[in-house]
Amino acid sequence: MQEKVTQDHINRILWQAADSFRGKIDSSTYKDYILTMLFIKYLSDSYKEKVEQYTERYNGDEQRVQRAMSRERFVLDELSTFGYLYSKRNDPEIGEIINKALERIENENTGKLRGVFRNIDFNSESILGKAKERNAILRSLLEDFNQLSLRPSQIGDEDVVGNAYQYMIGQFASDAGKKGGEFYTPAEVSELLARLVRPKENDRVYDPTCGSGSLLIKVANQVPNKKIAIYGQERNGATHSLALMNMYLHGIDDATIEWGDTLANPLHLEDGKLMKHSVIVANPPFSLDKWAMGFAGEGNIDKKFKMEGSLDPFRRFE
């Protein structure tokens, strides 16, 4: 019997992985790489274990194994697994190899993962430095994560991985100080809000400024079977990606999280009108300067723009 992987062990390895980046780039940026790698490791370990189970069940009949795997929650091929990436850790093109793996994962799971990784670039010279330095960081990151097993049989409760994700987002928010509020609502505040709104089964729950989705997840957890419709929108591209991954890691596969400016371009509409929801929760970006610039139009960018209620087709500001 394989030894269970504890929450503390996962958290410790993740924080160790953060050491690969410290002093080189800002934590508000490197969190995206660590959390994306955690997501890939989780998908890979789950996939690998399922393949082994089906291979045993079907006595090695590869066709039946592939057919069974195609019906699983997520589909991977060998070139997009963590094991493949780890085997290429010394390759001078490792950044591009990881990018291609992310693209393959998206293409294999278009219904669920389309666009999830579009805002993360493991081959970015401007963020990760020139090839030699970049490759050293990525090799170290892969070696750190190779110490971690996220097989379902070893982690037991799926939320162990989701909790690790929340833990890291919380750590990075703390590290980022005031800026952390852009992608994270403190767990205690989320929990209090979630209980106060008392969501019920089949409710529609909406967060117009959802960040990494932690508040929506707390609300979903108030409904025992999580049978609840989750909607959110986030303006920051990288944070939007984190929100999608966060949902999947908490077992919420059908959340509708949109990317865009909620004020200037609300994307949850029905028949051309704003969608209505049973419950709305939010940690609005109160400190955001120039919040209305999305209404300004190109010709107004350099002028002294003044927001007027008539500029909003949904008449929210009159």
Between 48 and 181, whose confidence is greater? 48
Spatial contact of 268 and 256, defined as CB atoms under 8 Å apart: yes
Q: Domains of the chain by range and CATH?
A: 7-179 (1.20.1260.30), 183-286 (3.40.50.150), 288-318 (no CATH)
Highest mean pLDDT among 18-22, 64-68, 153-157, 291-295: 64-68
- How confident is the prediction for the chain on average, in pLDDT? 89
Q: What per-residue confidence (pLDDT) applies to 65?
A: 92
Q: What is the pTM of this model?
A: 0.88
**Overall average pLDDT of the 285-302 stretch:** 76
Question: How would residue 178 be classed by pLDDT, with cut points 50, 70 and 90?
Answer: low
Between 304 and 13, whose confidence is greater? 13
Is residue 247 scored above 70 in pLDDT?
A: yes
Q: What per-residue confidence (pLDDT) applies to 96?
A: 97
Among 294, 298, 291, 295, CA closest to 310: 295
Q: What per-residue confidence (pLDDT) applies to 180?
A: 59
**Which stretches within the chain are classed as H helix?**
7-18, 27-57, 62-69, 82-87, 94-108, 110-113, 125-128, 131-146, 152-155, 159-176, 187-197, 214-220, 237-249
Question: How would residue 159 be classed by pLDDT, with cut points 50, 70 and 90?
Answer: confident
Question: How would residue 167 be classed by pLDDT, with cut points 50, 70 and 90?
Answer: confident
